[in-house]
Amino acid sequence: MENRKTPNKSYRIWWLSPISLYCFYLSLVICSYYIPEDTYITIYRTNKYIETKYLAYHFICFFFFLIGYLFSKNYVKENTTGSEPYKNNGVLWEKLTYLLYTMYVITFFSYLLWIMNFIQNNGISRILLLRNLSNMALILEDIHKNSSHISGLTTFTELGIVVISLSTFIIMKCDNRQITGRVKKLAYILVAMACVRAFLFSERLAAYEIIIPMAIVWLQSRDIRKHKTLVFLFPILCIGFVLSIFGLLEYQRSWMKHYNMLYDSYTAFTFERIMGYYANAINTECAFLSEIGFNMLPFRTCEWLWKIPFFSSLYAKITPTNVAAIYNSFLEEYVSTEFNNPGGLLAFVADFGYFFPIFYIIFGAMIGRLYFGFINRHLFCEIMYPCIYLALLELPRFFLLGQSRGLCIIIGGLLIYRTIHGVLNSSTPYQTTYTGSPNPSATLSSANQHTEMAQS
């Protein structure tokens, strides 16, 4: 097969590097450290807990993360996708498409349950009141109070993170227009549902977690070397975009309810508000270590584990107190309940105490392997690193991979890895021309016939 030149292979997008991201977070930690204590008390309604020793903790954690990252750089795997031989592997595309449809059905019905629960709690008449734009903020607040999630079911909407990444990859890489056409429609529906959820529930992350992986896969799949300057400055444009969306959603969430009489400028409120989320998450994490100390059992980095029925009862037997309950009472006593993000940069410190260097090395090595696979165009890494990058973006506020939504990313990643590994290591001839049949089973049958002919 012709070895085609891979776009972007010689040009790395600097802001997609986990090290660039981590260095930016250290700058946030330094800024939070130098914010005066009066500012924390008057504006954020909490005491300042970011002391010099916790500043040192952040840099030590980064040091060990960097060791693991550099160690993974020495991991060199045969580049199975650098020349993109999977372009003509019909069985691979069929398997990935079937997997996409399966995960999409789970995600869609989770959204459907969420919508049905939303309508049941609020009623059609209350939802129709949203047509009154003048009272939209009050109506949304009332709707938000009467809405809830179905634990264990609506959580699977977070599988949409993996679904949108895989969907975008198929759209950008697959040559079959019938497949890409169907996947495009599904992707549009998923984006629309996420945006509605972000608006009605004031869950900004619901929109970000769909848009960000989609954008990263799109950038990695395009030849962007002609637009190096634009790509280099893209984070600045993103900051402006995020501030605009954040301000728009925060307008009905907190500006109209509390802060319109305290600020002269809505722009100043927006900037101070978004900085408050990160500064307070970092401060809250330091406060927890200062007042509570290390967890008896790992919790922050694997919270989803203790929500599984068997392990939840086991956790209750081993530990006398629940970390989540302790954290809620801790918020009420020591910090502001309004800014309730627990932070994530020191999650391994809180969970593993003085053994945290080992786990930061492992974490850095795992992230590094995914990143280097991503820039070298390994199939699995191209699909999954955008999802992990999303988790890294939230690291200053919370350790996303340890939460239930993180479990969805892990499950989706394992399913994709199993599918790719199963196809590329099967007895089926590696390159099977994709016939473009609208019926996936027809193509699979054709591939099996080729296999039987080859064996005979």
Q: Write the pLDDT tens digit of every residue in 126-157.
A: 655 555 555 555 555 556 665 556 666 667 88
At residue 448 the predicted structure's pLDDT band, cuts being 50, 70 and 90, is very low
> According to the model, what pLDDT value does residue 205 have?
77
**Model confidence band, residue 454 (pLDDT cutoffs 50, 70, 90):** very low
Whether the per-residue pLDDT at 260 is higher than 70: the answer is: no
| pLDDT > 80? residue 440 | no
Which residues pair with residue 398 across a beta bridge? Answer: 343
Average the pLDDT over 116-125 and give the result. Answer: 68
pLDDT for residue 36 is more than 90: no
If you average pLDDT over every residue of the chain, what do you get?
78
pLDDT of residue 145: 60
Place of tokens 């939504």: 405
Which residues touch 425 (CB under 8 Å, ≥6 apart)? none
* Per-residue confidence (pLDDT) for residue 86, from 0 to 100: 63
> What is the model's pLDDT at position 75?
62
pLDDT of residue 2: 38
Region class of 12: left (phi > 0), else alpha (psi between -120 and 50), else beta:
beta
Burial 272-311 (b: 16+ CB within 10 A, else e): bbbbbbbbbbbbbbbbbbeeeeebeebbbbbbbbbbeeee
pLDDT value at residue 165: 96
Q: What is the pLDDT of residue 275?
A: 80
Give the pLDDT confidence score for residue 27 in this predicted structure: 94
pLDDT at 325 over 90: no
Looking at residue 409, its pLDDT comes to 94
Q: How confident is the model over 302-317, as a mean pLDDT?
A: 79
What average pLDDT does range 410-432 have in this prediction?
78
Tokens at 370, concatenated: 């995914």
Contact (Cβ atoms closer than 8 angstroms) between residue 29 and residue 51: no
Mean pLDDT lowest for which of 12-26, 173-187, 440-454?
440-454
Asked if the model's pLDDT at residue 443 lies above 60, the reply is no
Of the two residues 92 and 337, the one the predictor is more confident about is 92
Each residue's pLDDT tens digit, 369-394: 999 999 888 889 999 999 999 999 99
pLDDT of residue 65: 97
pLDDT confidence of residue 418: 92
Average confidence (pLDDT) over 242-247: 71
Give the pLDDT confidence score for residue 33 in this predicted structure. 93
End-to-end CA distance of the chain: 24
* pLDDT greater at residue 353 or residue 202: 353
Give pLDDT, residue 410. Answer: 94
pLDDT for residue 77: 54
Confidence of residue 76 (pLDDT cuts 50, 70, 90): low
The pLDDT value recorded for residue 10 is 45
Residue type present at position 129: L
33 versus 118: the higher-pLDDT residue is 33
Which pLDDT score is estimated for 376? 86
Tens-place pLDDT, residues 218-240: 988 877 777 777 777 788 887 77
Q: Give the least confident one: 4-8, 27-31, 423-427.
A: 4-8
pLDDT over 90 percentage in the chain: 34
